[in-house]
Amino acid sequence: MVADISSGLLASARQLGSATLHEAGGKRGALPSGIKPLRDDWRIAAPAFAVVGPARDNLWLHRAIYAAPRGSVLLHGCGADAEAGYWGGIMANAARECGLAGFVTEGGVRDVEELRSLDWPIFTRNVCIKGTTKRVDGAGSLGASVLIGDILVNTGDLVVADADGVVVVARADVERVVAAGVEREREERDIVARLKRGERTLDIYKLPAGA
């Protein structure tokens, strides 16, 4: 158990996926849609460890690898500057060895072929070969909070990511949102069964048929 989210809740969240939990949570918590996995089969459901660093600098990310608890996902804010490769093969190998669950950034990454071969999930807004600095005077933070798009994420919040995108569920809401997601999935299975019996979406959802 990491950040007080049980392994059962994490497994359920991972199976439900980002789109279902976004809807179940009242359409809240979606990170910018440009943040996507380097491989479509990658999925994450893990507590966030927030890391903030200056634009085009990755010293705080090196620090985060060793500060984050095992089983957590690094959630990286950099002022939305994606014109740099903040993360690459060396850092991914280090984070994997430390038992972290994955990496999500509003910035860019590089060494893409190597990253894909590691089978360790990475979600990024961009692929960029430009290198970064490591400024000892650069302002940043570890294990506090990070603003990505218009979503403020606190360390310990649940991050669920897959090919559809990334959603964040506040820690206090995890049990409720996962339960609502399970119910939503059950309802959708019933709708699919009705469609297979010949019913129409217009009738099921009571939608106007138009002219």
Domain boundaries, the chain: 7-193
Percent of the residues in the chain that have a pLDDT greater than 90, as a whole number: 97
Question: Which fold does the domain 7-193 belong to in CATH?
Answer: Glucose Oxidase; domain 1 (3.50.30)
Average pLDDT, the chain: 97
Averaged pLDDT, 128-144: 97
Tally of CB atoms within 10 A around 6 = 12
- Decide: 103 and 87 in contact? Cβ < 8 Å: yes
According to DSSP, residue 16 is labeled H
- Locate the DSSP E strands across the chain: 36-37, 44-52, 73-77, 85-87, 102-105, 108-109, 122-124, 126-127, 141-142, 145-148, 151-154, 158-162, 165-169
Name the pTM for this structure. Answer: 0.95
The answer to whether 100 and 74 are in contact (CB under 8 A) is yes
pLDDT for residue 1 is more than 50: no
Q: What is the pLDDT of residue 136?
A: 96
Task: Tell the residue number behind the tokens 């603003």, with chain if given.
Answer: 147
Here the tokens at position 19 are 């789109």
Q: Which three-class secondary structure state does DSSP give residue 2?
A: strand
